[in-house]
Structures are given as structure tokens and as C-alpha cells.
Amino acid sequence: MISIKTTNSLYEPEKVDVGIVHIGLGAFHRAHQAVYIEKNLNRNQGGDWGICAVNIRSNSQLVDELKANGCRYHIAEYQDSQNVELREINAIRDALFAGTDKEPLFEKLVSPKTKIVTLTVTEKGYYLAPADKTLRQDDPSIQHDIQTPASPKTAPGILVEALYRRKESGLPPFTILSCDNMPNNGSLTRRVVCELAAHRSAEFAKWIEDNVAFPSSMVDRIVPAMSDASRERLQKELDCHDQNAVMCEAFSQWVVEDNFPQGRPDWEHDGVQMVKDVHPFETMKLRLLNGSHSLLAYVGLAAKYKTVAQAVADEKFASLIRHYMGFEAAPTLDLPQEVQVQTYIDSLVSRFANDSLQHQLSQIAMDGSQKIPQRWLNGAEERLANDVKQGDLNATALGVAAWLFYVRGEDLEGNQYKVDDPMAQTLSELHGRCADPESLVREALKLNDIFSTTLSQSEMFSRAVLNAYQTIISSGVTDCLSFNNRL
Ligand code: CS2
């Protein structure tokens, strides 16, 4: 018998004011930040920290559906397949689609009540050049926002226009909190916003530099994209008939740099870790959790696994990620004081094994060009700068080889699939141009949007990638899996 705990809102939603505008109304936001705000509103029996959640370009349907339900929805937190907490959420008080609601959006952003703007727009939503982390000025959407700043299309463009209007009205700015999986997400957001604002005027960019706070944060919760199958499951298992319900794991973590000059919810009482420096938490989570996720995704898909739980149930894959985390990634980390690395690694492996989530490897495989630098490559570069021996980066190199194989868009049996990545075309052209593995690997590592010169010039690293790639295409990825996982 499945055990279901139900938690309902303890406040009157219609009395809650909006203090936060959130850009990027995906499943992750609804299952992470909105839950922390829900807890905050429950504990304070209401307040001024309700959320107005916004989608910029896609999924206007979700906005409409949420609004039709007064923005009320449910979260199903699966501890495992037998233990679930079903939570009612009313923290989102309004939802907007920027494509059609541009002026209502600016009204919210320019309201004196709005103190914080939070973001989950994914890595590519920042329009950063992956290698030097500057604004991609040549991107057509950014060009559009430079030419017509008053009707922007991108998240940085919306932030710049809203700050501009606030400044013109003599209002203080809001604090901008990035909740995306990037190291130093606060300073990166500051950089793209200021670079874009400089096209208005240097003085305006300086005003942002001097007055806007961009705290960093580390977010963690496994939230698979919802599908018809998962909605059906919630109906059957939990009798939850909410079209907008989201399913996720029970674990959740949010570590936030405590820098909110315009005020913030007292969410340290709701399980949020408010700290001075997020960096050690961010790099640990990115390189260990997300790094293992990407490894499982590309290597697992090459082995025909579909979900994270299926892949880690295979001893060889569990050993691969344990080896990667323990021997290749952990030595690069400056860990938060309270963290025992082995305990953290063990907890990740058991979270990945949660088979109630059906977390699709193909979901994680998306946008690899934007993800693998901070998940694998930055750590590998640090290792290479510190005298590594042959074999020391073999799991990372296998990941790169499996990613390179994945982005060709065709499996070994000749079945084709769509590669969802802003660099998909470049990567497909690369495969078209380089018929033999040797030139393919050499040319791939020269893609300086992704790989630094330390990596492309490392004979040892290139050879390890090439060996793995050749094995994948000649005898299959399983032959690459003989990793020792004992620390
Ligand atoms: C995943 C993340 O899709 C992905 O790339 O690695 O969404 C991951 O599930 C979260 O960061 C967990 O906190």
C-alpha cells in the first residue's frame, strides 16, 4: 500500500501580495522555489512574498492552465515508490506570458512591491559565450534587444528594460537571483545584464553595477519533465487530477548568498541555507551531481538505457559514476566545511536510484554544449594543470566521447534522433566533415566555445577521448566500463 501524506496551504492565498517576479515557469520552479515560498507563507500565515511567474517565449498553455485554476497546483514528492507527500501550492499568485502580456509584465516588474526577480531560464537563456562567459552580442535575439530595447525578447533584455524603467521613475532596483545550474550564477547574470545595459548608456550600466545586487545560489532537486504518463500515474496512485501537478524527489536543497538589500523572505526558517559564499556548494553540486547526471545520460543512452534509475541499477554504471566523482571530480573541490564527500556521493547514488521518478536520460542530454564545461571540463582543466597521470581522467574522457557520439544524431543501428542543443548544427557539420574518429576528436576538442586550449592541447586527454570513441563505435560503450570505484 502506498503511503500518502497530504499537506494543504494554511493561509488565505488571495490576501498574499506579490513580492517576487519569477522568469521561467517550468516544472523545476514549481517544485523548488515555489515550495520554499509556500512553506514561508504557511509559517507566516500569509505575507508579501507571493510569486508572479512568467514564461517568456514558450509554454503559454501552462500559463493559461495555471490561471484557470487560480494558480493553485500540487507537488508529489516521492521519497520512493511507496512514500509520497502530496502538497498543495498557492505560492504563485499570478502567471504571465511575456509574448502577449508584455505591459502587464513590466507593470509587475516596475511595481515598488517587487523586491526580487528570480530566474530559471536554463544555461542558454543567459546568452553567454561558453568559453569566455561574455554576452553573445551576435545572437539574433540579443541583437533584437539591442535594437528595440523597449520590447525585449530575452530574459537579460527584460531585466534591463525593467531596471531602466525603475531608474527613470526614481524607484530602487530589485535584487536579481539566478537559480540556474551555473557556477557564479550571480556574477554571470550581472555581467550579461550590464553588458546589455551598456548599449543604452555607460551611465545606466554603471548605475546597475553600483545599485543592483546579484546574489548567487545553488539549487538542487530532481524534477523530471512531466509527461502524459506521469500525469496518469498521479491520477491512479494519488487520486490527483491536477493537470499542472509536478512530480519530484523528496530531497530539496537551496543555498543562497545572503545579499538582498531590498529585503527578502525569512526563508532561513524554511530550510534555505543563507550563506556568505555559495561557490563551494555550487561547484560541488555541479561537478558531482550534474557531472554524474551528464555522464549517465550520454554513456547510458549509448548503452540503450532510458532512465537514470535503470542506468545506476547496472553495477558497471554505478561504478563509473562513483569512480568519476571520487577520483576525478572530488579532488578538484574545495568542499563546504560540513560536507563529507563520501556521504554526499553515497546520497547522490541513492537519489539517482529512485525509480519512482522515471527521470529520462534524454532530458539530461539536452543542451550538452552549454552544460559540460561547468560539469566536467573545468574540473578536468584543473586536474591537467596539476600533473595528472595517464588514466586519471578516463571517466571524464569517456563522457566526452559518449557526448560526441550522441551529438551525431544517429545510433549504431542507424536510427536517427533530434539533438536538442544550440550548437546542434555546428556539431552535426563537424560529424559530416570528419569521417575518421581521429580527425573528429581532434576537431571537436578545438571547438573553443566548449573546450579550453588546456584540454585541446593535452595529448593525454585527446588520446583518452579517442580511445573511448573508437571503442564505442567498434564494440559498444559497455566495453569502456571497467572502473574501480573504491576510494
Ligand atoms: C539535470 C538537472 O537536466 C539536467 O541537466 O542534471 O536538471 C538536475 O536534475 C538538477 O540540477 C538537480 O538538482
**pLDDT tens column, 165-216:** 999 999 999 999 999 999 999 999 999 999 999 999 999 999 999 999 999 9
Residue spans of alpha helices (H) in 179-326: 185-197, 202-211, 228-238, 279-284, 291-302, 308-313, 315-323
Grade residue 132 by pLDDT with cuts at 50, 70 and 90.
confident
Q: Which of 278, 443, 452, 447 is nearest to 377 (CA)?
A: 452
**Nearest C-alpha to atom 6 of ligand 1 is from which residue?**
290
Q: Give phi and psi for 238, each to the nearest 5.
A: -115, 0
Atom in ligand 1 nearest the alpha carbon of residue 219:
13
ipTM above 0.90, yes or no: yes
Phi, psi of 141 (to 5 degrees): -70, -40
CA of 215 to the centre of ligand 1 (A): 21
Question: Which contiguous run of DSSP H or E holds residue 427?
Answer: helix 424-433
Residues contacting residue 338 through CB under 8 Å, at least 6 positions apart: none
Residue 83 has pLDDT above 70, yes or no: yes
pLDDT digits 0-9 by tens, 268-305 = 999 999 999 999 999 999 999 999 999 999 999 999 99
Query: What is the signed CA dihedral for 340, 484, 316, 321, rounded to 10 degrees?
Result: 40
Determine whether 237 is exposed, middle or buried from the number of CB atoms within 10 Å of its CB (0-12, 13-18, 19+). Answer: middle
How far is residue 456's CA from residue 442's CA, in Å, rounded to a whole number? 8
Among 337, 298, 336, 295, CA closest to 318: 295
| pLDDT, tens only, 412-437 | 999 999 999 999 999 999 999 999 99
CA of 222 to the centre of ligand 1 (A): 6
Ligand 1 atom closest to the Cα of residue 28 is 7
Question: Ligand 1: which atom is nearest the Cα of residue 221?
Answer: 13
For the chain, give the percent of residues with pLDDT over 70: 99
Residue 76: which region, alpha, beta or left (left: phi > 0; alpha: psi -120 to 50)? beta
The per-residue pLDDT for range 25-54, each reduced to its tens digit, is 999 999 999 999 999 999 999 999 999 999
pLDDT digits (tens, 9 = 90+) for 133-170: 899 999 999 999 999 999 999 999 999 999 999 999 99
Looking at the chain, the whole-number percentage of residues with pLDDT higher than 90 is 94
Q: Which residues of 303-327 are buried (b: 16+ CB within 10 A; e: fewer)?
A: bebebbbbbbebebbbbbbbbbbbb
Ligand 1 atom 4: the closest Cα is on which residue?
A: 364
Cβ count near 366 (within 10 Å)? 16
- Domain 3-275, CATH homologous superfamily name and number: NAD(P)-binding Rossmann-like Domain (3.40.50.720)
Tell me, in angstroms, the distance from the centre of ligand 1 to residue 90's CA.
24
- Residue 326 Cα, ligand 1 centroid: separation in angstroms? 20
Provide the 8-state DSSP code for 307: B
| Sequence ranges of the chain with CATH classification 1.10.1040.10 | 279-480
Cell of 271: 530550510
CA of 380 to the centre of ligand 1 (A): 20
Spatial separation of the C-alpha atoms in residues 451 and 376, rounded to whole Å: 11
CATH 3.40.50.720 in the chain: give the residue spans: 3-275
pLDDT band with cut points at 50, 70 and 90 for residue 482: confident
Residues whose CB is less than 8 angstroms from the CB of residue 464 and which lie 6 or more positions away in sequence, other chains included: 391, 393, 394, 397, 398
The set of residues, in sequence order, having a beta carbon less than 8 Å from that of 199 and lying 6+ positions away, is: 146, 149
Distance CA 178, CA 159 (A): 12
Burial of 42-69, coded b for 16+ CB within 10 Å and e otherwise, reads: bebebbebbbbbbbbeeebebbebbeee
The pLDDT, as a whole number, for residue 486 is 61
The angle at the Cα of 378, spanning 256 to 307, to the nearest 5 degrees, equals 75
**Quick one: how many helices (H) and strands (E) in the chain?**
22, 12
Residue to substitute in 364, 372, 374 for testing ligand 1 pocket (most ligand atoms within 8 angstroms of CB):
364
Distant-in-sequence, close-in-space partners of 214: CB < 8 Å, separation ≥ 6: 175, 176, 177, 178, 186, 187, 189, 190, 193
Can you tell me the distance from the alpha carbon of 403 to that of 23, in angstroms, rounded to the nearest whole number?
30
Measure 364 CA to ligand 1 centroid, in angstroms: 7
Give the mean model confidence (pLDDT) for residues 351-376.
96
Mean pLDDT throughout 310-322?
Answer: 97
| Single-letter amino acid, residue 227 | S
Give the pocket of ligand 1 (CB within 6 Å).
181, 220-222, 289-290, 293, 363-364, 371
Ligand 1 atom at shortest distance from the alpha carbon of 220: 13
- pTM of the full predicted structure? 0.96
Residue with CA nearest ligand 1 atom 1: 364
Average pLDDT over all residues of the chain: 96
Is the CB of residue 248 less than 8 Å from the CB of residue 234?
Answer: no
C-alpha cell at 362: 534524454
Q: pLDDT of 429-481, one tens digit each? A: 999 999 999 999 999 999 999 999 999 999 999 999 999 999 999 999 999 99
Nearest residue (by CA) to ligand 1, atom 3, is 364
279-480 is a CATH 1.10.1040.10 domain: yes
Residue 487's pLDDT is 53
